[in-house]
Structure 1
Amino acid sequence: MKPVERLRGLRTRSAPTSARERLRTRAARPALAVLIVIAAVVVLGPLAGLVTGCAAAFAVDRALRTREPRAVLRARAIAADELPFALDLLAACLTAGSPTVTAIRTVASASAPPLAERLHAVAAALDHDRDPEEAWRPLADLPGGERLIAAAVRSSGSGAALAAGLRRLAEESREAAAHAGEAAAERAGVLVVMPVGLCFLPAFVLMGLVPVIVAVLGDVMPTNQ
């Protein structure tokens, strides 16, 4: 087995089915608009409901059009998850003396498709003697991407200096991912407890507060003789 194949085996993910999800979203938008209009007509009446429902349906449709597709968000999340591993590999290739473009292509061949496409774009841009800031731009929207571009610009003439910066960025990316995971776990705990609290709140009000209020009002209110 080739070294690149062994590296690729360490991280294997499937590419997102973006075309299918785009078709599904396009088909769902008209149905959602019709449901909004019908609900508004039922609640507000024929005339006011039709006007309000059409306005609300238009606003929702615009929001869905401007929102990034779920496939794009998932691809970016996969690329962000792969980035620290790829940065470590790239730093190792540069430290071993590999040219920058060759190292990037080697790492791209061992990466999952969402990140591999971006790395291939970077290598192609560097092959065409693009400015480093422009060449590394495909990675800008990933966590730490702007710092990666800045490190590439600073060390454009020295692969060894870039390797050191890549190792730091990989470590920082892992720490940021760990903190994000802890924050997500804390939010999940709150969201899990919240429905239970909402279920117990009416019972607490009815069984704890209402009898006290009724007793106090019974003592305070004058009784008819």
Structure 2
Amino acid sequence: MVALLVVPAAGMILHRRADPVDQHIRRRIAADLPFAADLMAACLLAGQPVSAAIEIAAAAVDNPLGERLSWVSSQLRLGADPEPTWAYLARDPATGSLARAMSRAAQSGAPVADVLTRLADDAREAANAASVAAARSVGVKAVAPLGLCFLPAFVLLGIIPVIAGLAATIVLP
């Protein structure tokens, strides 16, 4: 009877968990995104075309973000429309902010270097906020094991001797 309740609940919990490989890839992309955006902005300010700037950033980053940027660069060099190309990258939450910013810049004609600089700053602030939140959560997570260790010791060394002393004085006049 218990198994009928536990198995579906465990299946739902395990199904909700994200794949550790996907989480690792998203963390790598989030860590490399500010550098790649700054590098693309520098290339654009130096006079490189967008596809060349993306290719240079892809070669410099050379990990999951580099692979995605290399694909975008090759599509743009082949003459693909920028909006669907960036929209394909927007499906992934890790590269969604970059893809949306580049797509908006392509639609509006805004200077792409300014957009990339803002994106890099925002990505750095998000990474900083995430690291501060993770550091604060460590203190909260450390309370439970400390409580499990110190509470029994406090009871055994602080409360039981007092109760035993009071019981001895009450029982033995």
TM-score by length of 2: 0.75
Residue in structure 1 matching 2:71, options 97, 121, 133: 121
Task: Provide the residue aligned with 2:94 in structure 1.
Answer: 142
Q: For 1:188 and 1:165, how far apart are their aligned partners in 2?
A: 35
Q: 1:164-196, CA deviations, whole angstroms, 9 ceiling, x for partnerless residues?
A: 111111112112212211221222233234312
Q: Which residue of 1 aligns with 2:127?
A: 177
- SS at 2:94 equivalent: coil
Report the Cα offset of residue 61 of structure 1: 4.2
1:111 to 47, 58, 61: 61
Structure 1: which amino acid aligns with 2:132? Answer: E
Looking at structure 2, the residues matched to 79 and 101 of structure 1 have their Cα atoms a distance apart, in angstroms, of 19
**SS in structure 2 of the partner of residue 76 of structure 1:** helix
Read off the aligned partner of 1:189 and give its amino acid letter.
Answer: G
Structure 1 stretches of at least 4 aligned residues deviating more than 6 Å after TM superposition:
157-160
Matched, 1:75 2:17: no
1:198 aligned partner: 148
Identity across the alignment (%): 40
- Three-state SS of the structure 2 residue aligned to 1:156 is helix
Q: Structure 2: give runs of 5+ residues left out of the alignment.
A: none
Shift of 1:91: 0.5
Residue pair 2:86, 2:100 contacting (<8 A) in 1 also:
no
Q: Which secondary structure does the structure 2 equivalent of 1:110 belong to?
A: helix
Q: Normalised by the size of structure 1, how large is the TM-score?
A: 0.60
